[in-house]
Structure 1
Amino acid sequence: MKKIMRILRRGIIIIFSILIIIIIISFINHKIKLNQESELFKPLGKMVKVNDHYMHVYTEGEGNVTLVFMSGGGTCSPTLDFRSLYSKLSDDYGIAVIEKAGYGFSEVSDVPRDIDTVLEETRKALTLAGQKPPYVVFPHSMSGIEAIYWVNKYPEEVKAIIGLDPAIPETYENYLMPNKAILNLAAFAAEIGFTRFIPSVCESSAAIKAGSLTEDEKEIYRAVFYRRTVTKTMLNELECIKESAEKVDEMGLPEVPMLLFISNGNGTGWEKEQWQQYLIDYASGIAENQKIILDCGHYVHDYEYEEIASRSKEFLNNIILD
């Protein structure tokens, strides 16, 4: 028995030692790669100071209205993730991509992630970047909650919502949130650079495998990915989302025209029929609404950017700008 215990202890020590070695090797490799990628990790837009941390706002194009793109939860590089779509719109409209704390080129921060703080930071960052309302907002996924709240709280600032498979309050009522221990493990793996040994995680991103990014832009995306995956700010935001959704739901439906691009549910955590029905039912309660079903995954703006750009222009011309 004592011999067996000695063998078990020895085995545990060996396994633990191997794990420590792997962690050290991964961390050193990560730091070397970060240094090598430093030239790629340079803001593509403006850095503005909001709430004691710096946020990145990318802008291009000019027009009678500014289109504000708002990323979904966990999207590492909003500026590049939306590029395939907004590049089709910037000849006719002003474009602004907001990168929240912990996303893209914005700083990782411990600031509160309740809906009021997030929205006020968005509004302030846009102002400091030289943008003025009213806007047409393009929220993806989780940002649908912020967009609806924005309309209800400051109706004079938003002319319409063009939703890119956006979340609505009801989608979070029965949503099973990811296991916190697993999320923390994923955050640790990203922090030590272990994800670099699994390149398929980055390469499977919709922006890379389906969008229209150039090879140079993909290299920048990768550099951002290895710095902005499962950040602590993203985790804090996720912890607040159910409470935020409840608060938004209590305010009722937004009273602005709405165009929704709805995915096949792949990547949402919901079955196709349930996800689509949530959004169809929600939009149907709004006086001016259009709903377009797309046979693609959750990052609709990477898969169907041509159709979304074309339909968005029609919507803006026929409903918003006439």
Structure 2
Amino acid sequence: MKKILKIMLISISTIITVMVVFLATVYFVNLISNEREKGKIEDYGQKVMVDGKQMNVLIQGDGKETIVLIPGYGTASPVLDFKPLVKELSPYYRVVVIEPFGYGLSDDTDKVRTSQNYVDEIHECLQKLNIKKYTLMGHSISGIYGLEYVNQYEKEVQAFVGIDSSVPRQETDELPVSSLQLLNQSGFYRLLLKVKPDQLVMPKVDDQTKAQIKMLTFRNFMDESQASEADNFRNNFKNAQRLHFPKKLPVVFYLADQTEKETPSWKPMHEDLLKNVDDGKVVTFKGGHYLHHTRSKEIAADFKGFLSEIESNR
């Protein structure tokens, strides 16, 4: 009996030791990798002082009209994520990609991520850049921030474009923020992406750009800004339910057919937002949520035609 107990204790001790070594290895590999990657992340764009912190912005193209791009939630690098769309738009427009706090190369912030704070920061950034008139084009949750924005700065925004953008009355799930932060800090997020790299959504870009997106993902995943943003999802969506797009503001939504299949009310909810808009439409493209990765040419061409049609009718 004593021999059996001894064998059991040795086995349990061995298992515990192996687990501790494994956990420690995952943690320290992540820690060392994070330090190494700091020096490998390449700079791009320009820094603008906003609310005492640095916000990163990329400006490309020299067209007379300006398009301001704002990202969906959790985008590691908005500049690199929007790269295919910027390529299609920049020959005709001045394209400005904003990286909100906690995204891309921008500073993190401990300021609560309410829609109001988000809108104030983006507007301050554009003011500092002396950009007074522009089209606001946003992906995913930027549909919520954009709705708040155009109601506050109706005289500045010339049109709004939503890329499979969120709507106030859609269902919103709470993210397990603390668990996700632990996943990242423990190193297991890096391990998961190593095992299943296809979990990381990115556009069709060269290997060097993919490597940059990956490093920025590990740097920014569930930082203070993104954690606060997730915590404020429900309040921000609820507050947006009081808003409508201004009657004279041209609005176009580019929706993904895959999202429509998953959420049958997706298109009707967007159409409902256009009821009181003079110039508005909904266009559906084949593809997933990240339409700007796969349908940039179609989006750019349709938007150009949309504006031309409005101008000719006025």
**Alignment TM class, shorter chain as reference:** 0.7 to 0.9
Q: Which AA in structure 2 matches 1:62? A: D
Match of 2:54 in 1: 54
DSSP-derived class of the 1:47 partner: strand
Conservation of the 8 A alpha-carbon contact between 1:40 and 1:219: no
Q: In the alignment, residue 263 of structure 1 is paired with which amino acid? A: A
Structure 2 match to 1:123: 123
Displacement of 1:265 in angstroms is: 4.3
Cα distance in 2, alignment partners of residues 201 and 76 from structure 1: 17
Is the 1:55–1:106 Cα contact (8 Å) retained in structure 2?
A: yes
Corresponding residue number in structure 2 for 1:64 = 64
Matched, 1:221 2:221: no
Three-state SS of the structure 1 residue aligned to 2:138 is strand
1:41 aligns with 41
Which residue is equivalent to 1:241?
233
Describe the superposition over 1:161-185 as per-residue Cα deviations: whole angstroms up to 9, x where unpaired: 11101111111xx43323x3xx322
Aligned residue in 1 for 2:289: 298
Match of 1:206 in 2: 201
1:260 has 2:253 as partner:
yes
Query: Could you give the per-residue CA deviations for residues 228-265 of structure 1, whole angstroms, max 9, x where no partner exists?
Result: 12223112112222222232321333331011101124
Offset at residue 19 of structure 1 (A): 4.7
Which has the larger displacement, 64-73 or 8-17?
8-17
- 2:138 maps to 139
In the alignment, residue 220 of structure 1 is paired with which amino acid?
A: Q
Asked if 2 retains the 8 angstrom alpha-carbon contact of 1:137 and 1:160, the reply is yes
Could you tell me how far apart the structure 1 residues matched to 2:179 and 2:304 are? 43
| Most deviating of 193-202 and 66-75 | 193-202
The aligned residue for residue 98 of structure 2 is 98
- Cα separation, partners in 2 of 1:8 and 1:280, compared to 1, 3 Å: farther
Q: TM-score, normalised by structure 2?
A: 0.88
Does the alignment pair 1:176 with 2:170?
no
* In 2, Cα distance between equivalents of 1:315 and 1:126: 24
Name the residue aligned to 2:266: 275
| Distance in 1 separating the partners of 2:280 and 2:266 | 18
Q: Conserved in 2, the CA contact under 8 Å of 1:160 and 1:320?
A: no
Distance 1:11 1:242, change over 3 A: farther
Q: Determine if contact 2:60/2:95 at 8 Å carries over to the other structure.
A: yes
- Tell me the amino acid that sits aligned with residue 221 of structure 1: I
Quote the RMSD (CA, aligned, Å): 2.9
Please give the secondary structure, in 2, of the residue aligned with 1:72.
coil
Q: How far, CA to CA, are the matches of 2:53 and 2:66 in structure 1? A: 24
Corresponding letter in the other structure for 1:237: E
Matched residue type, 1:144: G
Change (3 A) 1:12 1:254: farther
Aligned partners of 1:77 and 1:221 also within 8 Å:
yes
SS in 1 for 2:215: helix
Question: Offset at 1:14?
Answer: 6.4
Cα distance in 2, alignment partners of residues 251 and 91 from structure 1: 34
Q: Corresponding residue for 2:280?
A: 289
Instruction: Check the 8 A contact 1:202/1:225 in 2, yes or no.
Output: no
Count of residue pairs the alignment pairs up: 311
Cα distance in 1, alignment partners of residues 7 and 30 from structure 2: 34
Q: Distance in 2 between matches of 1:116 and 1:15?
A: 51
Is 1:195 matched with 2:194? no
How far, CA to CA, are the matches of 2:33 and 2:148 in structure 1?
Answer: 40
Deviation of 1:195 (Å): 2.3
